[in-house]
Chain A
């Protein structure tokens, strides 16, 4: 079983749609959770950290369910510029900042 699992997609949605991505992680001792965005042939960039209480940044909402080891990302009012791969990232507990990346979910927003 992979440490971080995501639906690879692609998700093809029209502009203005709401889309949700899910992610599960296997190590219950993980403490930090993130969503990164990666454009085609570019480096990953931090989109947002994910907290137990849930957090929102504009059109983006992230949720964490520790009991289910489940992380979600909701994008409202999708824009063409949201087209990218979204990587679910979890820290690997054990004394240093090791990040475990999911393989990503690809989003394509069309006019």
Chain B
């Protein structure tokens, strides 16, 4: 009964080789988020979708892009991964954008850049 699913759980890529991380949800939530969490640091919001509306955080590098083809799926594309992009990437969902709406996290994808 997994609710937020991320694939793959572990991803190894080479420096500069594009990579796509996948997130799907069975909750039918309107909002999907992508966070980056580096070792011993706080999760940092990269962007989020409210339905089809894309909202990029001001400090998210252009190297990071996202697609949401339908309610259930959301993808994170890293166009040219650098060594500094090695991190855990967390997908989360919430039913709405209200400040009290709980965010549900997927298990994360751990990205290694060689």
Contacts and interface: CB of A to CB of B under 8 A. Distances in A.
Contacts, number: 53
A80 interface: no
Contact of B42 (A41, A42, A101): A101
Query: What class of interface size applies to chain B in its complex with A?
Result: 20 to 34
Given A43-B105, A44-B43, A104-B42, A96 B48 contact: yes
A46 B3 CA distance: 14
Which among A8, A87, A93, A104 has the highest number of chain B CB atoms within 10 Å? A104
Interface residues of A, number: 24
DSSP majority for the A interface?
loop
B41 interface: yes
Interface string A78-111: 0000000001000101011111111110000000
B108 interface: yes
B38 to A, nearest CB: 10
A32 interface: yes
Interface of B: 31, 40-45, 48, 50, 55, 88, 90, 94, 96-103, 105-108, 110
